[in-house]
Amino acid sequence: MIFPMLEVGIVVLVAAYLGYWRLSARRRNAQTWESLMARLRPDWSARELSDQFLWKEGLTSTPEDTWTRMQGPHGLWVMYQNAKTMLDMADYADRNCENVDRVLLATLRSDAMQIRLCVLMALAQYAFTQASEGVRVNAFRAASMYTGMAARMTQLLQESAAVMVPDFVAAM
């Protein structure tokens, strides 16, 4: 009695996963530069952390200053979500643009994953220790990587979709 129910349960789970996978592939293929830009969260900007952060890497603030300017965990969460969107933008460029720099795409993908991991670590630390020195240092690392990724994304857009650069700058 239990074995047939287990088999049916497994078949239902596999069918649900395949349906979800197909739906997400269809959604991914329907994306455009405009829809990706609309997903960027403009409610926090790294402009306060660095002069010309979209054109060059590096921060011009200290870890404590960065924590304050990023509005604590709010800025971390925005970086987490925007890093995913920029990862999707890199994937879109890889699928739809000719002559795209493969090294730049690989760097963007790596940046996105590192930012997301660093942000999750900082948020977990924040949940247990509030704004300790370790949280501020991890937030500073994430913000530093985020400004570098934004600069590289600007470079990718200039090469692949130059008309989208003003929208990207406005959203960031």
Per-residue pLDDT at 108 exceeds 90: yes
21 and 38 assigned to the same domain: no
39 and 26 assigned to the same domain: no
13 burial type by CB count under 10 A (0-12 exposed, 13-18 middle, 19+ buried): exposed
Cα 149 to Cα 86: distance, rounded to the nearest angstrom: 8
17 and 94 assigned to the same domain: no
Given this model, what pLDDT does residue 131 score? 67
Confidence category of residue 111, pLDDT binned at 50, 70, 90:
very high
The number of domains in the chain is 2
120 and 145 assigned to the same domain: yes
Average pLDDT of the chain, as a whole number: 84
Per-residue pLDDT at 130 exceeds 80: no
Q: Give me the percent of the chain exceeding a pLDDT of 70.
A: 90
Q: What is the per-residue pLDDT across 45-78, written as a single tens digit (0 to 9) for each?
A: 777 666 666 665 666 677 888 888 888 889 999 9
9 and 41 assigned to the same domain: no
Residue 145 domain boundaries: 34-171
Given this model, what pLDDT does residue 106 score? 93
Given this model, what pLDDT does residue 62 score? 79
In sequence order, which ranges of the chain are alpha helices (DSSP H)?
2-29, 33-39, 63-69, 73-96, 102-129, 133-160, 165-171
Q: What is the per-residue pLDDT across 14-23, written as a single tens digit (0 to 9) for each?
A: 889 888 888 8
At residue 90's C-alpha, the angle toward residues 139 and 116, to 5°, is 25
66 and 137 assigned to the same domain: yes
Annotate 88-108 with b (16+ C-beta within 10 A) or e (fewer): bbbbbbbeeeeeebeebbebb
49 and 94 assigned to the same domain: yes
Given this model, what pLDDT does residue 133 score? 81
Given this model, what pLDDT does residue 83 score? 93
67 and 38 assigned to the same domain: yes
170/90: higher pLDDT: 90
Amino acid identity of residue 6, one-letter, is L
Rounded to the nearest 10°, the torsion over CA 26, 27, 33, 34 is 130
Q: Supply the pTM of this predicted model.
A: 0.79
Annotate 50-60 with b (16+ C-beta within 10 A) or e (fewer): beebbeeeebe
